[in-house]
């Protein structure tokens, strides 16, 4: 994750990002996107049952949900910037 995105997060948000990271990387790799640009075009942060998720509009990434939108936006930014690295 780039320093700017990381440093804008609170300590609690950084902890949430860390706790979701491994699961998130696997979910991104299993997604229908082939690169970061395509991931950003297909997926977005959305709400479902009071939590924020990342979804292609049909299927949410499995196990990736949080009550804080900024946490998922940070993960989304990381996936777009670093897909495949």
pLDDT tens digits for range 27-74? 999 998 999 999 999 999 999 999 999 999 999 999 999 999 999 999
How far apart are the C-alpha atoms of 79 and 44, rounded to whole Å? 11
pLDDT score, position 54: 97
How far apart are the C-alpha atoms of 35 and 22, rounded to whole Å? 18
pLDDT score, position 83: 81
Other C-beta atoms within 10 Å of 55: how many? 17
Q: How many CA atoms lie within 13 A of 67 on its CB side?
A: 1
Q: Phi-psi region for residue 49, left (φ > 0), alpha (ψ -120 to 50) or beta? A: left
Q: How many domains are contained in the chain?
A: 1
Domain range for 58 is 3-82
Which pTM was predicted? 0.90
pLDDT band with cut points at 50, 70 and 90 for residue 1: confident
């Amino acid at each position: 994750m780039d320093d700017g995105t990381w440093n804008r997060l609170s300590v609690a948000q950084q902890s949430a990002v860390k706790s979701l990271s491994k699961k998130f990387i696997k979910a991104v790799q299993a997604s229908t996107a082939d690169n970061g640009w395509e991931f950003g075009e297909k997926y977005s942060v959305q709400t479902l049952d009071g939590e924020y998720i990342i979804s292609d509009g049909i299927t949410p990434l499995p196990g990736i949900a949080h009550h804080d939108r900024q946490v998922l936006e940070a993960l989304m930014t990381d996936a777009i910037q670093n897909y495949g690295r």
